Structure 1
Amino acid sequence: MLKFFFLVFESFRFAGQALRENMLRTILSLLGVTVGIFSIIGVYTMVDSLESNIKNSLNSIGTNVIYVQKWPWLFSSGDYPWWKYFMRPEPKYKEFKYLKDNLEHAQAGAMMDFTGNVTCRKNSNSISALCEGITYEFNEITEVPIVNGRYFAQQEIESGKNVAILGADIADALFPDSDPIGQNFKLKGQNMLVIGVQERKGKQIVEFDGEPDQKVIIPFLAHKKIFSSGELTGDIVFKGYDTDEGLFELEGEITGLLRTKRGLRPSQEDDFALNRPEAAAAMLGQLFSTLRVSGFFIGIFSLLIGGFGIANIMFVSVKERTNIIGIQKSLGAKNYFIMFQFLFESVFLCIFGGLFGILLVYLLSFLPLGTLDIVLSYSNIIFGLAIASIIGIISGIIPAWQAARLDPVIAIRSK
């Protein structure tokens, strides 16, 4: 065993010496592998970062939840005319109250509605915001991180008081030099009392429920009073229990109760949609998988070209070192010792090329790309080095086998 490790070490030493003696050729040989690994790992890293960003945005609309809405998020491939969706009624506040009072498999429920491009004013300061009206348990559906002030009291929600929680950007714009808590601002001519300010979240590439920093949250009934003349419609959402795997019990219960509430006969189709964030995540996951596969095949062509270049260099190396191979074999070197020299040399070339490609991806992560944070994961680094090693073995195996099969007498006479 000790002899084996000594021979392996000697193989490494010979391979390293050969690479140093032909530095220019070494650099040119590994460029193809560098470009290939950079292409594959670059695409994988970009896709992983984009997927993480979008999934974080999906988490902002709740996990383990079902949304009751007029329109489905994903349309089936069946022939279902769009006008059937258009003719559906909007979910109503009385339906929300009915479901909330009768659902047994929901741990929390909320109703919400949005109004965009609303102007908020405080003296000479103004800013356009997204106004969201919510019911009391909204903070149990998704996190509402308050850094200054407090969340709504249940009485404020149920009575529709003119109170508001501001996003960080809204608070900074309306109250640049003072604490906003306890102060008033104008929202469509109405005085609103600030009771809380949300933690600054920053921008995401996709915001499914609006950018939190530029949002004003008010009670649902106050929102309807200000923007909808009292028409109590919006989106309903319920959070299921962790024990309800797949939320099948909650989904079935919502379907049965809402069909009863709307007086639908057994032969009639549902006139509402039950939407889940994980369904959108699954669809995005398929898209990202396609992008990864595409990136892999784009990079693999560069790797193949680099592999052919390295194989050619290895054949040249065998030709140049034929005399040395003959001397080594005449002194007792085994075939696997000769084979390891060239195989390690080929693998070294590919690993060095792969490391340089990964370094380029790492440097790419420092580029400012707005809201997208590029993160090179350890799994992608290991994957890149594994691919580079495989290319090295494939590129070097035939030249290494050819060198190991040389006749020592003929090899010595080669010069």
Structure 2
Amino acid sequence: MLFLKLLRESFIFAFDALRQNKTRTFLSLLGITIGIFTIITVFAAVDTFRGNLQSSVDKLGSKTIYIEKWPWGGFGDYPWWKYMQRPQVNLRDYEALRQRTTTAEGVAYLAGMSNRTLKYRSNTIEGVQVTAVSHDYYKTWNFDLAEGRYFTDNESKSGSPVCLIGADLADGLFANQNAIGKSVKVLGRNATVIGVFAREGEDMLGVSKDKTLLMPLNFARNLINVESGRYDPQIMVRGKEQYSLGDVETELRGLMRSIRKIRPVDDDNFALNKTTILSGQLDQMFMIVDIAGWIIGGFSILVGGFGIANIMFVSVKERTNIIGIQKSLGAKNYFILMQFLFEAIALCLIGGLIGLAIVYIVTLIATYGFDVRIVLDMGNIIRGISISVVIGVISGFWPAFSAARMDPVEAIRSK
């Protein structure tokens, strides 16, 4: 009870000191406010960017492995000259894998073409992503249909002239009309629309079906060479639920080396790509950004901390006579220390809370004014408050300690 009473009295003394010196308090708060605002803004922006990128990566599927010529990445030590010599993934690889694998839920072959033209009567859309896929594509990629259906097994095998289109394509070609059953012209051939993908919206990696046309692989084989490197062929494999991603990857590596007759001493001439690769690269990139945020905000906090320490030394000097009177009346050293230390902490907390409030206002303006969602989560709020308290303790300790050590007689005599 005695400690709580002393704590309450210390806060009262600190609050009175702050209230009586409004200009000095404002100038002291300014440095801390700017520092907390800078740090939390950087972290909120990084968290938002990281979340958007991660959601884009998650669309690729955590249990799906992509067999390609090129490994994902391209940063740092990336021996592209070695990968250039690798053969492209082909239909022979796909057929052999599909027949031999025991851990895969689905195996799909994919070839894509960008910036194509799609026509319906007098309506034309440029920049369409045309993707040719084998039947198991629906097992390897998560998507929803707003209307219609996916290819039947017979349509995939026979190469029927059918297709699925994205929401943007449906709106652009068939405004206020039902797209199902309409015939569109793509790659010089007519194809009947049997399904429309649900709208997904743009994301950070451009992973969206909104402007994509999906057609059966065997239909596309009559129009293009689906094994050509121009169309970025790849094999998508999603493992069964009872197998871990590592088990699926191990089996695929062994099967691909066997199919391509790679000697034990030779390196793989294919890449097994998965979302964990991208997630790891994102973590490394954002770790660097986090460090930069601490450095940028740290300078602002440092300036604010020196400002608080300087103001506290001035406060101690101004109240030397009062400190002497308090000590002569029996005030303990720790009461004097806590009095000034809490004043410094209160200053920093108020400055930190103002900084957080400004960040919150900025997030509201960005969200509702510019349709840019910025995440200010509880972790960043706690981080801002914690930094404020720590800076208050560090910057206020020495002035408070010097006040607590004063001789009461000398302090009373001072003017």
TM-score (norm 2): 0.92
Q: Which residue type is aligned with residue 214 of structure 2?
A: I
Paired letter, 2:32:
V
Partner in structure 2 of residue 341 of structure 1: 339
The answer as to whether partners of 2:111 and 2:132 remain within 8 angstroms in 1 is yes
Aligned to 1:317: 315
Q: Letter of the aligned partner of 2:42 in structure 1?
A: V
Which of 250, 255, 276 does residue 278 from structure 1 map onto?
A: 276
Distance 2:5 2:227 in 1: 85
Q: CA–CA distance in 2 between the matches of 1:135 and 1:373?
A: 37
| Residue 77 of structure 1, CA deviation | 7.5
Q: Measure, in 1, the Cα distance between the counterparts of 2:145 and 2:24.
A: 61
Kept after mapping to 1: 8 A contact 2:90/2:227? no
- SS state of the match for residue 223, structure 2? helix
Does structure 2 conserve the Cα–Cα contact (< 8 Å) formed by 1:205 and 1:371? no
**Corresponding residue for residue 116 of structure 1:** 114
Partner of 1:358: 356
SS of corresponding position for 1:71: coil
Match of 1:162, as an amino acid? P
* Residue 371 to residue 137, structure 1, CA distance change in 2 (3 Å): farther
Counterpart residue number, 2:218: 221
Partner amino acid for 2:314? V
Q: Distance in 1 between matches of 2:78 and 2:304?
A: 49
The 1:76/1:198 distance shift into structure 2, 3 A limit, reads: closer
CA change 1:45–1:230 in 2 (3 A) is closer
Q: Please give the secondary structure, in 1, of the residue aligned with 2:210.
A: helix
Q: Name the residue aligned to 1:409.
A: 409
Measured in 1, the distance between the counterparts of 2:227 and 2:395 equals: 73
Q: 1:175: Cα distance to partner?
A: 0.8
Q: Percent identity?
A: 42
Gaps of 5+ in 1: none
CA distance in 2, matches of 1:119, 1:24: 66
Relative distance call for 1:340 and 1:376 in structure 2 (3 A) is same
Please give the secondary structure, in 2, of the residue aligned with 1:401: helix
Structure 2 gaps of 5+ residues are none
Shift of 1:343: 0.8
d(CA) in 2 for partners of 1:137, 1:33: 58
Counterpart of 2:124, as a letter, is S
Alignment match, 2:377 = 377
SS in structure 2 of the partner of residue 67 of structure 1: strand
Residue 327 of structure 1: aligned partner = 325
| One-letter amino acid matched to 1:118 | R
Aligned position for 2:39: 40
Q: CA deviation at 1:138?
A: 2.2
Letter in 1 for 2:373: D
CA distance in 2, matches of 1:402, 1:146: 72
Q: Alpha-carbon deviations, 1:11-33, whole Å to 9, x = none?
A: 11111111111112111111111
RMSD across aligned positions (CA): 2.3
CA contact (8 A) 2:220 2:226 kept: no
Question: Which amino acid in the other structure matches residue 385 of structure 1?
Answer: I
Whole-Å Cα distance in 1 between the matches of residues 86 and 240 of structure 2? 29
Distance 2:31 2:347 in 1: 10
Residue-by-residue CA offset, 1:53-86 (whole Å, 9 max, x unaligned):
111111122212221111122369779571x433
Q: Mean alpha-carbon deviation: is it higher for 94-103 or for 368-377?
A: 368-377
Q: Which residue of 1 aligns with 2:58?
A: 59
Question: How many positions carry a matched residue from both structures?
Answer: 410
CA–CA separation in structure 2 for the residues paired with 1:380 and 1:176: 45
Paired letter, 1:379: G
| Counterparts in 2 of 1:51 and 1:233: CA distance versus 1, 3 Å | closer
For residues 57 and 191 of structure 2, the distance between their equivalents in structure 1, rounded to whole angstroms, comes to 30
CA distance in 2 between partners of 1:223 and 1:358 (Å): 55
Distance 2:289 2:227 in 1: 46
Aligned to 1:175: 174
- 1:197 and 2:196 are equivalent in the alignment: yes
2:255 counterpart of 1:261: no
Secondary structure of 1:55's partner? Answer: helix
- Aligned equivalent of 1:22: 21
Would you say the 8 A contact 1:53–1:372 is kept in 2?
no
Deviations 1:323-380 (A, max 9, x none): 2222222333222222111111111111111122222222332326978531111101
Q: Deviations over 1:91-118 (max 9, x none)?
A: 1223212212211122222221111111
Compared with structure 1, are the counterparts of its residues 326 and 268 closer, same or farther at alpha carbon in structure 2 (3 Å cutoff)?
closer
Q: Which of 287, 291, 299 lines up with 2:285 in the alignment?
A: 287
Question: C-alpha separation between the residues in 2 aligned to 1:221 and 1:389?
Answer: 66
Worse-matched range after superposition: 258-267 or 293-302: 258-267
